[in-house]
Amino acid sequence: MIGNQAMTSPQSSSDRAAAAPLLEIKNLEVGFKTQRGFIPAVEGVSMRLEAGQTLAIVGESGSGKSTTAQAIIDLLPGAGKVTGGQILFEGRDLTTLAPKEMQAVRGNLIGYVPQDPMSNLNPVWNIGFQVEEAIRANGVAKGKAARARTIEVLQQAGLADAEVRLKQYPHQFSGGMRQRVLIGIGLSSRPKLLIADEPTSALDVTVQRKILDHIETLTRDYGTSVLFITHDLGLAVERADQLVVMYKGKVVESGRSVDILANPLHPYTQKLVAAAPNLASRRIQSARRPESTRKLDIASIGSVDDRMMAKADARDSGPSENLVTVDDITKIYRIRRGGFKTDELKAVDGVSFTMPRGTTTAIVGESGSGKSTVAKLMLQLETITSGSIRFDGQDVAKLKGADLLKFRRRVQPVFQDPYGSLDPVYSVGNTISEPLRAHGIGDKKSRSARVYELLEQVALPASTVNRYPNELSGGQRQRIAIARALALKPDVLVLDEAVSALDVLVQGQVLELLTDLQAELELTYLFITHDLAVVRLIADTVCVMQSGKIVERATTDEVFDNPREEYTRTLLEAIPGAHFEFGR
């Protein structure tokens, strides 16, 4: 009898789960109060997620993906409000819970990994304290056990040297490392539901795979359900059982992820899917030119623009002078270990490369490999420990006063974090025009005209000019950051994961914009990224970094067609959705 009971219990539990899903959203309506009145952001959205399942919500920036996720755990921005529908979690309508009741659900039963790693970590507290605080607040552990659990969750989230890094602060971590901290916090209490809003957009493909494998293990071992918000269709098809496609606040298609992505029915889904493979593995396989890209069947490449490839051929046709020369640079950080003791962390170790005028140099590698530190050294946001960077013949470390200001006008950044790099009290118009005002360029009328021109270039409506960062999605904010960097028409753009927050459609538009601008203005780009598909399309030279060193440096074709290092081959093989046949 006991054996029979053991056999029938899981079945009855499964029946109950089928009757009452873990999460069910019915006709959800969400809107935001703005200066122009109440604007709906989510309209009549319905979806369900069973216990132990994984559901992915995809769509372009501003489609309502993140707003839907934030509504589930009552974390909408101050101006946001649920105006209709139900959010049923284990049968309880979360929209009716009092704040104290919601606090008991949030963290313990529903974990959340936000999209923005910097704004969700306190800059004045070290990493260990912040993770341990979440563990104690959720009642997972206390005292020494809480510290041990802190190290454990960070290691599970992909931070191998977690015990050493506990005393470091958020600004000492790369964007990907900060995201891993947030993932560790979200998983610390082993919740029944994990909401992950672009959880791996800041991570390189190898660490991404490790994180997603860990989330899959939780799903299997603890029955944890996962709700992914993502613009990466390769990730969606590999990791999600179910898929919901959102467009302009509405669900336009839903069902099994493999079915939808192999045979999309809605025109918007078809457009989204047609773009996706070309920013993942297919672009790597197809965009190879034995002698010239013009010999390729461009139609088979999808969103790859033959004009972009032709411009790449033109750049390859003749040598250019080196605008930037990086010579044996090293950056050492001193990490306090308590008392007067410090350890040395060599973030950049003897890095050298050149950047010919009018070309794109890409630096790829895992999070924490030193890519972003090289960018900061280039921009003179960090001091070089040894070595030199020469820009147009000048040693940038020696520039001061007016010369330094002129350098900053000619070399502009687009940072990885679209949240922390925008001032929340500045409107979009003021944000984009700020560099023009700071450098005394034009009058009010001409600056305003330039702002509208830039908004059009980065595919944002003119009405965005009066909005504020908290009213925009992550992808929209990143487009604002790109527009601001382009305002001064610089010689060099340092793009630190500049398109990682963008959906595939807008990403393609921005990459084409950058390519056009490069051809027209002879711009030089330093592209810091973990997205190898982007590198394959736009870079002339690739530097692969590992543990602060460049382990492989060659032309893009050489790196992708004949990678010498095992590390480079691992990066190429880890791209999500590499072997899935997306529908057309």
Mean pLDDT, the chain, rounded, equals 81
Cα separation of 557 and 566, whole Å? Answer: 17
pLDDT band of residue 384 (cuts 50, 70, 90) is very high
Q: Which residues pair with 334 in a beta bridge?
A: 344
* Rounded percentage of the chain residues whose pLDDT exceeds 90: 31
- Give me the sheet containing 23-34, strands edge to edge: 37-49, 23-34, 80-89, 92-93
Q: Is 105 helix (H, G, I), strand (E, B) or coil?
A: helix
- Region 47-76: mean pLDDT is 90
Higher pLDDT among residues 380 and 507, named by residue:
380
- Region 519-525: mean pLDDT is 85
For 227-258, the pLDDT digits (tens) are 999 888 888 988 999 999 999 999 999 999 99
DSSP letters along 406-426, please? HHHHHEEEE-S-TTTTS-TTS
- Region 211-224: mean pLDDT is 78
Higher pLDDT among residues 118 and 82, named by residue:
82
pLDDT band of residue 17 (cuts 50, 70, 90) is very low
Q: Which residues of 373-388 are buried (b: 16+ CB within 10 A; e: fewer)?
A: bbbbbbbbebebbebe
- Please give the pLDDT value at position 4: 39
Distances (CA, A) of 276 to 228, 285, 316: 17, 14, 27
- Region 67-87: mean pLDDT is 89
- Please give the pLDDT value at position 256: 94
Residues 362, 542 contacting (CB under 8 angstroms): yes
- Please give the pLDDT value at position 344: 83
Cα separation of 41 and 36, whole Å? Answer: 14
Cα separation of 433 and 441, whole Å? Answer: 10
Q: Of 101-105, 151-155, 276-280, 441-445, which range is least confident?
A: 276-280
Distances (CA, A) of 58 to 2, 70, 261, 545: 46, 15, 11, 31
For residue 215, pLDDT beyond 80: no
- Give me the sheet containing 386-391, strands edge to edge: 342-356, 322-336, 386-391, 394-395
Helix ranges (H only) for 2-62 are 2-19
Region of residue 459 (left: phi > 0; alpha: psi -120 to 50; beta: else): left
Three state DSSP letters for 356-400? ECCCEEEEEECCCCCHHHHHHHHCCCCCCCEEEEEECCEEHHHCC
pLDDT band of residue 119 (cuts 50, 70, 90) is confident
Count Cβ atoms within 10 A of the Cβ of residue 89 and give its class: 0-12 exposed, 13-18 middle, 19 or more buried: buried
For 385-415, the pLDDT digits (tens) are 999 999 998 999 999 888 998 998 999 998 8
Residues 65, 245 contacting (CB under 8 angstroms): no
Q: Which domains does the chain have, with CATH numbers?
A: 2-261 (3.40.50.300)
Cα separation of 520 and 115, whole Å? Answer: 34
pLDDT band of residue 134 (cuts 50, 70, 90) is confident
For residue 279, pLDDT beyond 60: no
- Please give the pLDDT value at position 296: 33
For residue 329, pLDDT beyond 90: yes
- Please give the pLDDT value at position 47: 94
- Region 57-66: mean pLDDT is 87
> For the chain, what is the radius of gyration of the CA atoms?
24
Cα separation of 438 and 431, whole Å? Answer: 11
| Best CA proximity match to 229, nearest among 56, 52, 466, 110 | 56
Q: Which residues pair with 541 in a beta bridge?
A: 361, 555
Cα separation of 112 and 250, whole Å? Answer: 22
- Region 286-296: mean pLDDT is 32
| Best CA proximity match to 447, nearest among 466, 424, 431, 470 | 431
- In the chain, what are the helix, strand and coil shares in percent, each to the nearest 5? 45, 25, 30
For residue 105, pLDDT beyond 50: yes
pLDDT band of residue 118 (cuts 50, 70, 90) is low
Cα separation of 565 and 552, whole Å? Answer: 7
Count Cβ atoms within 10 A of the Cβ of residue 347 and give its class: 0-12 exposed, 13-18 middle, 19 or more buried: buried
How far, in whole angstroms, is CA 446 from its chain's centroid? 34
**Which helix (DSSP H) or strand (DSSP E) does residue 43 occupy?**
strand 37-49
- Please give the pLDDT value at position 530: 78
Higher pLDDT among residues 7 and 225, named by residue:
225
Distances (CA, A) of 531 to 1, 91, 326, 372, 497: 56, 40, 23, 14, 8
Q: Within 10 Å of residue 147's Cβ, how many Cβ atoms?
A: 17
Record the pTM: 0.70
- Please give the pLDDT value at position 412: 92
pLDDT band of residue 434 (cuts 50, 70, 90) is very high
- Give me the sheet containing 541-546, strands edge to edge: 411-414, 492-496, 524-528, 360-365, 541-546, 549-555
- Please give the pLDDT value at position 305: 46
